[in-house]
Amino acid sequence: MPSLCAAELWRRSERWDLMGRDLFRLKDRHDAEYCLGPTHEEAITELLASQGHLSHKQLPLLLYQVTRKFRDEPRPRFGLLRGREFYMKDMYTFDTSEEAAHLTYQTVCQAYTRLFARLGLNCVQVQADTGNIGGKLSHEFQLPAEVGEDRLLVCGDCAFSANVETMEPGQTDCPQCHKGTLTESKGIEVGHTFYLGTKYSHIFNATFSNPQSKPVVAEMGCFGLGVTRILAAAIEVLSTEDAIHWPGLLAPYQVCILPPKRGSKVGHLEGLAEELCRSLGSAIPGLRGEVVLDDRTQLTIGKRLKDAGCLGYPYVIVVGQSAAEDLPRFEVRCQQSGETMFLSREGLMDL
């Protein structure tokens, strides 16, 4: 979808005025008005409507993209956690009925839950306000963190959780189990889901042909993951004062190999480090393209170890004094656990 969105589409949905100062607005040389897209409900629904009637056999239809979004935040802060420009994975779904749309909604929510679990992030799915996007149902995926700007209410006795915006002021009794007490915590919103109903499809006439060949307005949902915010939030909750800890799937490389300092007593082992870098990548399929050699051998190993901690490599292998022994051993540091091991070459292959 284009970053420049025509004001005409946003006026048709009545969001041109509703969004207020959150929209970056501009005019071209012909005085036509545009905004920098913070989201693309209007554009995607207009695109679908322009294709003519879809068949009910073509639904559900799920269309997604990963693009830059823009929002004129009143208080941009914390780097990637809240910026005016950010990357988002947004998806828009079209279904034949409300029941089918709810099934799609649950399927996507479950996929988001699995995604965050694979990243090792303890996200909570909370009841949320539909805001200026609108719709009938909404949930946020919140990562509990002290720097979070959202206030959450969580029940200790059941799975209920909600953004305070959706609850009555001062409410402490759980509305789901009716016996638990709601406690407040802070969170970082990293995902958001909406069941839109026919809000946009009705306005833009996005229809499909039912089994009787009659046009029916499609039921819609929209779903977003804040890609850049997930990166920043993961570092915020997983890292320590001294080192960055990435989720394994997001680390820039899985292994960093440190050769000895040039001119040191074991400086001749630099070639061994280079060969080890090549062999690890070829012998272990999961490490292909995931091993980096820090060849700044003019720096001490200590300095490069500190840099490795700042970059967040899950494993650091030091080719040092113990690698010069008759039975060479390599120092392996696991950044996540802080554990240090000395392993043979064969042991490295089993790591």
**How many of the other CB atoms lie within 10 Å of CB of 139?**
22
Tell me the two tokens of residue 117: 């679990």
Q: What per-residue confidence (pLDDT) applies to 179?
A: 84
Q: What per-residue confidence (pLDDT) applies to 285?
A: 85
Residues making up the chain, counted from first to last: 351
Q: Which residue has the tokens 């990562």?
A: 143
Report domain extents, the chain. 4-238, 255-349
Q: How many whole angstroms separate alpha carbon 330 and alpha carbon 261?
A: 15
In CATH terms, 4-238 corresponds, of 3.10.105.10, 3.40.50.2300, 1.20.1090.10, 3.30.930.10, to 3.30.930.10
Q: What per-residue confidence (pLDDT) applies to 159?
A: 82
Q: Which residue has the tokens 């009705």?
A: 202
The dihedral built from the CA positions of residue 199, 200, 204 and 209, taken in this order, carries a sign that is negative
Q: How many whole angstroms separate alpha carbon 278 and alpha carbon 293?
A: 9
Q: What per-residue confidence (pLDDT) applies to 65?
A: 97
Backbone phi, psi, residue 226, to 5°: -80, 95
In sequence order, what are the residues at sequence separation of 6 or more whose Cβ sits closer than 8 angstroms to the Cβ of residue 139? 109, 125, 126, 127, 128, 192, 193
Could you give the count of Cα atoms lying within 13 Å of 302 in the half-sphere of its Cβ? 0
Q: How many whole angstroms separate alpha carbon 334 and alpha carbon 178?
A: 45
DSSP string, 272-302: HHHHHHHHHHHH-GGGTT-EEE---TTS-HH
Architecture of domain 255-349: 3-Layer(aba) Sandwich (3.40)
Q: What per-residue confidence (pLDDT) applies to 78?
A: 83
Q: What per-residue confidence (pLDDT) applies to 53?
A: 78
Per-residue pLDDT of the chain (351 residues; tens, 9 = 90+): 999 999 999 999 999 999 999 999 999 999 999 999 999 999 999 999 998 878 999 999 999 999 999 999 998 888 889 899 999 999 999 999 999 999 999 999 999 999 999 999 999 999 999 888 988 899 999 999 998 999 999 998 888 999 999 988 888 888 888 888 899 999 999 999 999 999 999 999 999 999 999 999 999 999 999 999 999 999 999 998 888 999 989 998 999 999 999 999 988 999 999 999 999 988 888 889 999 999 999 999 999 999 999 999 999 999 999 988 889 899 999 988 889 999 998 888 877
Q: What per-residue confidence (pLDDT) applies to 281?
A: 85
